[in-house]
Amino acid sequence: MARRRRGKSINGWLAVDKPLEITSSTVVNQVRRLLDAAKAGHGGTLDPLASGVLPIAFGEATKTVAYVMDGSKSYRVTLKFGEARSTDDAEGDVIETSDHRPSADEIKAVLNEFTGEIQQVPPKFSAIKV
């Protein structure tokens, strides 16, 4: 016999604006406790250094996470030219610097290389499980 979950039976989705420096799991746990929801899960991990929309499913909606997250996504990023870091993110130590800043034309010339399916190696420190 399955054990009964504590909390209210809430079904549906909630889009949360995840702040920087907090994990996706922490956000889900905080929202689940706040709503006293019996069951909750998120639709994709954002690294602690990333902010943005974190879809949270409740109750029966957790069964649809794989289908909902199968759609296309878009990202907005901010980057800093001229630094290489030990962890490939803003938290790492600066290991190399450069004064070169690519021009708009140089950037446009390589953008097509980042369209479509791309084989990419994840950073050394990432929330992705390989």
Give catalytic residues, as residue numbers.
47
What count of residues does the chain have?
130
Helical H segments across 7-129, by residue range: 24-35, 65-68, 104-111
* DSSP secondary structure code for residue 37 in this structure: B
Q: How far apart are CA 91 and CA 33, in angstroms?
A: 30
Q: How far apart are CA 57 and CA 97, in angstroms?
A: 43
Q: What are residue 27's phi and psi, to 5 degrees?
A: -60, -45
- Residue 37 forms beta bridges with which residues? 8
- Residue 13 forms beta bridges with which residues? 57
